Amino acid sequence: MTSTFQRTFLVISLSLLVTACANRSQVDSPPVAAVEPVPELSLTLPDVPPRPFPKDTLFELLAAEMAGQRNRFDLALGNYLRQAEQTRDPGVVERALRVAEFLGAEEPALEMATLWTQVAPNDVEAHRAAALQQARAGQIEPATASMRKVLEMSGEAHFDFLAVAASQSDATTRNTLLGTLQQLQDEYPDNRQLAFARALIVHESEPQQALDILQQQPLDQQQAGALLLQANLLDQLDQPQAAIDLLHASLQQYPDDSRLRLQLARLLLASEELDTAASQFGRLLEQNPEDHDLILTLGLISLENQQPDLAAYYLEQALEQEPDNSTTLYHLGLALEEQGQADEAIQAWLAVRDGNEYLPARLRITQALMADDRLDLLAQIMAESRSERPQARMQLYLIEIETLLDRHPERAMQRTEEALNEFSDDSNLLYVRALLHDQLGQPEQSEQDLRHILAREPDNAMAMNALGYTLADRNERLEEALELIEQAHTLEPDDPAIIDSLGWVHYRLGNLELALEYLQQAWEAFPDQEVAAHLGEVLWQLGRHDEARAVWEESLDNDPDSPLVRETRQRLEHE
C-alpha cells in the first residue's frame, strides 16, 4: 500500500498539527487545585506599635524601614532579625517574619514564627504562622500542635497547607498526621476543615481513600475546596458523570465560586456535552467579561459545536483584545471558512505569523486555494512564507507538494525538484519524488529513488514497504517484493500500511486465505479506501461477493469520492 496511506504517513506531523489546533481548547490546562492557595506576600508590613525603644533600636529600625523603601529587603531583614531578638516586641517580630517570608528565607521565618508564639502566646495569628512555617520545614508534629492551639483558641484553623506538606513526605509521617487529625476531628466534630485535610494527605497516593473520607461528610457541610477535590477524585477514578453531578449540586451551595464552575465546564467539555459546557463558560464570562481566555474558549466550543457564526462572534471579540493571537486567528479562519468566506479565512490565516499554528495555517491556505484552483497565488504565498520563515522551509515545501500531489502531479514534481536542489538527498523529498514518479507512470525512476533511500538508510521501513508494494502492484519480482515487505513488517509490525502490503503481495502470489487475514487486520486498524479496494478484491476472488460489496459500500460511505474503490468494484463486477 503506498499511494494514499503512505502519502498521509509522510506529512502526518503536519496533519496532527492541524488536528491538534482544530480541537485545541484553552480548557486543556491541568485541573484546578483543590487547595486554597496561600496568599502571596505583599510588601505591606504590619505597623510596629509605638513604644519607648532605646535610641540604638530606633536607629536600626529606621534604617530597616529605609532599606525596605529602597527594595533592599536583605538589609532590612538583618536589622529586623536583630531587633526582634533584642526587643522581643511582637510587632517587630511579626515584621521580621513577613520580610523573611517575602524573601523566601525559610530558617529565619521559622525562627521568627516560633519567637512570635513565645512573645504573644494568646495571638491566634502567631500560632497559625508558626504552624505554616513548621509545616514548610517538615516539622509535622510541632505544626499539628500549633494548629491544635489555634483550635483551642477558637480561631479559624486552615489545615490545607499542613496536609499538602505531609502528602509530600514519607508514609510514616503521613500516617502520624492522619491519626492526629482524626483525634482532632473527634474533639472538634463541627470543624469542616479536618476531613478536608485528611483527604488532602492521601489524595495522591490513595485517591479512593481520600474520596471515602470526603463522602462521609454531608454535602452541605463541606467547603468549596473540599467539594472541588471530591469532584477531581471522582473524575480521576473514572466517574466523570458523578463528578459533574456533584459540581452541579455544589454550585447550588456556592453559586459564585468560579473554581467549581470552571471545573464543571471542563468536565462537560471532556464529556462532549458542548451546549452545557458553553452555558457554564458563558456564566463564567458574565462574572469575568474581560477574560480573554474565556472568550476564546467559547469561540472554540462554538466551532466544535458546528456553530461557525457564533464562533466567529466570540473569536472576533477575543481578537480585539489580542490582535496578534495566533490561536484566535487560526480558529477564526476555520469559522470563516465554514461560513463560506474563503478569502476572509485566508486573510485570517495569513495573519498567523508565529507559534504552533503557523504551519497548520499555511496548510489551510494551500487547501483553500487548491479548492478554487488558484495555483499561481498558492505558489506566491508559499514562496513568501519560505522567505519569511527560513527555519521551516522544508515543512513548507512538503505542505505545498502534498497539496498539489493528487490533482497536479506535474507541478508537485516541479516543486519537489526545486526543494531537492536546496535540500539534496533529503529522504522525505526523495520519497515524495518516488511517489510522483509512480503516479506519472515512471516506475523505473520511482524504484531508483526508493533504492537510493535504502542504500543510505537500510532500516527505513517506509521506503522498504513502498518498494515492495510497488513491485507487488505491478505484479513483478513478487518474491523480492515479499522479502522487502516482510522486512518492513519486522521493523514496524503494527503499521497498517505494511500489513496491507503483506496482504496484497500474498494476493498476487495466490495465497488468498493468508492475504485475507492480513487485509482484514489492516481494515480493522485503518479503514482506508485502498485497504477497502484490496480487501474487497480478495473477498470477491474467494467468491464472497456480498461481503466484498459490504466493504466497498462502507468505504464509500466514509469517502464518497474515492475513485479507487469505484474502479475496483466496476472492474470486478464486469469481468
Please write the tens of the pLDDT for every residue from 189-223.
777 777 888 888 888 888 998 899 889 888 877 88
pLDDT for 16: 29
pLDDT for 59: 55
pLDDT digits (tens, 9 = 90+) for 215-254: 988 887 788 888 999 999 999 999 999 999 999 999 999 9
pLDDT digits (tens, 9 = 90+) for 129-151: 888 788 778 787 888 788 888 88
What's the distance, Cα to Cα, between the start and end of the chain in Å? 24
pLDDT digits (tens, 9 = 90+) for 281-316: 889 888 888 899 999 999 999 999 899 999 999 999
User: H helices then E strands: how many in the chain?
Assistant: 33, 0
pLDDT for 56: 64
d(CA 1, CA 525): 14
Q: Which residue has the cell 480487501?
A: 535
8 A C-beta contact, residue 107 and residue 133: no
pLDDT for 3: 44
Closest CA to 231 of 222, 281, 301: 222
pLDDT for 15: 35
pLDDT digits (tens, 9 = 90+) for 411-442: 999 999 999 999 988 999 999 999 999 999 99
Please report the sign of the dihedral spanned by the C-alpha atoms of residue 437, residue 438, residue 442, residue 447.
positive
pLDDT for 60: 63
Closest CA to 34 of 224, 169, 222, 208: 224
pLDDT for 172: 73
Q: Which residue has the higher pLDDT, 99 or 455?
A: 455
8 A C-beta contact, residue 314 and residue 295: yes
pTM tops 0.75: no
pLDDT for 140: 74
- Residue 30, pLDDT above cutoff 50: no
Q: Which residue has the cell 487529625?
A: 181
Share of the chain above pLDDT 70, in %: 84
| C-alpha cell belonging to residue 275 | 451546549
Q: Which residue has the higher pLDDT, 71 or 524?
A: 524
Closest CA to 299 of 308, 286, 291: 308
Q: How far is CA 297 from CA 80, 291, 387, 564, in A?
A: 48, 10, 33, 40
Domains of the chain with bracketed CATH: 218-282 (1.25.40)
8 A C-beta contact, residue 362 and residue 349: yes
pLDDT digits (tens, 9 = 90+) for 48-84: 455 566 666 665 666 666 666 666 767 777 877 888 8
| C-alpha cell belonging to residue 393 | 522551509
Residue 526 burial by Cβ neighbours in a 10 Å radius (0-12, 13-18, 19+): middle
Query: How far, in whole angstroms, is CA 193 from its chain's centroid?
Result: 33
d(CA 324, CA 357): 12
8 A C-beta contact, residue 127 and residue 146: yes
pLDDT digits (tens, 9 = 90+) for 328-386: 999 999 999 999 999 999 999 999 998 899 999 999 999 999 999 999 999 999 999 99
pLDDT for 328: 96
